[in-house]
Amino acid sequence: MPSPARSSLEGSLMKYASIPARGIGGGHAKPDLRIALAGQANVGKSVIFNQLTGLHQHIANWPGTTVDKAEGTLYYKGLIMEVIDLPGIYSLTHLSIEEKISRDYIAREKPDIVVNVVDATALERHLIFTLQLLELERPLVLVLNMMDLAEKYGIEIDVDALREELGVPVVMTIATRGRGVAQILDAAIELHRTGYSPKKIRYGKEVEERIERLEAALGEIDLLYPRRWIALKLLEKDEEIWDLVRERNPRVIELASELITELEIIHGHDSSIIIANERACIASQIARRCIRIVKPRKPTLGDRFDEIATHPILGYILAAIIFAGLFSIVFGVGGAIAEIFEEYLSEIMRDAWVHVLGVTPISEVGWSAIESILFLLGLAIPYILPLYFLTFLLENWGYLA
């Protein structure tokens, strides 16, 4: 398997250092290319963002939210580029504020290029999200990150076959070492220069027939989204899209309801599950055609844990055990910390307070206020800290992903 070429970060990418990150000549320079980084959590997306923008980045909040908005500027091959690091998400189904932010930015702000960063060691799982991005019909570059781990695990990816299957440029990277990062920009520039013809993701016959009927019914309704994508989201019962379409043409909603009922009668499942399953099957087929295991490895303890965690019955039992253990630890450790907090810290602070201010009516009033604050902190902090620490561990182990 060919290794990604090392990018010349010290050379070509560092040329942007002479250009202010937020504009030229004191103003806001209009970028020649706007790039949005999209992908799931823990795929190295932010590492790539930092490799590209360095110190020339700006962190704020997305309008009306507390979600971080990271954007940066770089200068590469004569072009000023703006890079947006979208929140790490697992789908575009609008179930969370992060998903809404990402899909609205891609569909409505229309960045010139969407760079989809995926974990090369779990390509099939990540391709499900890639297919959803393709359905938004924005120019897309697929980045296979963590290629060093893929090679270590004996995973060989046929990049040419993957490029043919998806109809998009594919770049291999090892972001932690800076390898392949410059090639992302090269692919983005080339795609922007040559133009983009989106490849249609074909679902099963029953789904496709109903997508086509909804597309025809939508006519020229302008919702800033592709018509096929709107039709698909109507079949998936996306509440936001239903509301948008209902405002413009209620008859389309009536038709969508009829088509959903037909689809659910045929398959015996909820329409959103039908489409999600078909999308997963497409991702699986693509992965089988593009991935080869050249050095099978023995199942690790982590692999066996994953099997149990995703089992339809044992998974729930494991979850109950894990969360029961989690709360036992939280209350056990928290109780011990609270006891220390109450017995020792309060006494130490009381002695220090008296030593500094003495025993006077004013100091006693002040101490009463501080004692109330300490009491509240003693109730919350001892339990919150171990809870955050344990959930952090579970997230990093991938259990809460």
* Same domain, yes or no: 126 and 76: yes
- Is 300's pLDDT higher than 50? yes
Mean pLDDT of 55-63: 69
Final residue in a domain of this structure, among 168, 194, 220: 194
Model confidence over 306-356: pLDDT tens digits? 778 778 888 889 889 988 988 888 888 888 877 777 666 666 776 676 777
Q: How sure is the predictor about 148, in pLDDT bands with cuts at 50, 70 and 90? A: confident
Model confidence over 2-49: pLDDT tens digits? 444 443 444 445 444 334 444 333 345 688 999 999 999 889 998 999
* Same domain, yes or no: 39 and 169: yes
Residue 401 lies in a domain: no
With contact defined as beta carbons under 8 Å apart, do 168 and 176 qualify?
A: no
Q: Distance between CA 64 and CA 46 in Å, rounded?
A: 22
With contact defined as beta carbons under 8 Å apart, do 309 and 315 qualify?
A: yes
Residue 303 lies in a domain: no
pLDDT of residue 18: 35
Q: How sure is the predictor about 398, in pLDDT bands with cuts at 50, 70 and 90? A: low
pLDDT of residue 314: 86
> Which amino acid is it at 29?
A
Q: Distance between CA 9 and CA 221 in Å, rounded?
A: 45
* Same domain, yes or no: 33 and 119: yes
HEC assignment per residue over 158-192? CHHHHHHHHCCCEEECEHHHCECHHHHHHHHHHHH
* 26-35, 89-98, 156-165, 201-210: least confidently modelled range: 26-35
Residue 157 lies in a domain: yes
Residue 28 lies in a domain: yes
With contact defined as beta carbons under 8 Å apart, do 179 and 5 qualify?
A: yes
* 52-66, 186-200, 236-250: least confidently modelled range: 52-66
Q: How sure is the predictor about 297, in pLDDT bands with cuts at 50, 70 and 90? A: low
**Pick the residue with more confidence: 235 or 178?**
235
* Same domain, yes or no: 169 and 221: no
pLDDT of residue 8: 42
- Which tokens hold the place of 165? 């299957």
Produce one character per residue of 165-179: b if its CB has 16 or more CB atoms within 10 Å, e if not.
bbebbbbbbbbeebb
Residue 56 lies in a domain: yes
* Same domain, yes or no: 222 and 276: yes
With contact defined as beta carbons under 8 Å apart, do 202 and 155 qualify?
A: no
* 72-86, 299-313, 382-396: least confidently modelled range: 299-313
The pTM assigned to this predicted structure is 0.69
**Best-predicted range by mean pLDDT among 20-29, 232-241, 374-383?**
232-241
Q: Please report, rounded to a whole number, the percentage of residues in the chain having pLDDT higher than 90.
A: 43
**CATH number of the domain residue 28 falls in:** 3.40.50.300
Q: For 323-329, which contacts have Cβ atoms below 8 Å and span 24 or more sequence positions?
A: 326/387, 326/390, 326/391, 326/394, 329/386, 329/390
- Which tokens hold the place of 112? 């010139």
With contact defined as beta carbons under 8 Å apart, do 112 and 82 qualify?
A: no
Cβ-Cβ contacts under 8 Å for 218 (sequence gap 6 or more): 227, 230, 231, 245, 249, 252
* Same domain, yes or no: 143 and 19: yes
Question: What total of structural domains would you count in the chain?
Answer: 3
Angstrom distances, CA of residue 258 to CA of 206, 221, 234: 13, 20, 11
**Pick the residue with more confidence: 267 or 197?**
267
Residue 396: which region, alpha, beta or left (left: phi > 0; alpha: psi -120 to 50)? Answer: alpha
> Which amino acid is it at 237?
K
Model confidence over 114-146: pLDDT tens digits? 999 999 999 999 999 999 999 999 999 999 999
* Same domain, yes or no: 261 and 349: no
Residue 44 lies in a domain: yes
pLDDT of residue 66: 61
**CATH number of the domain residue 221 falls in:** 1.10.287.1770
**Pick the residue with more confidence: 14 or 164?**
164
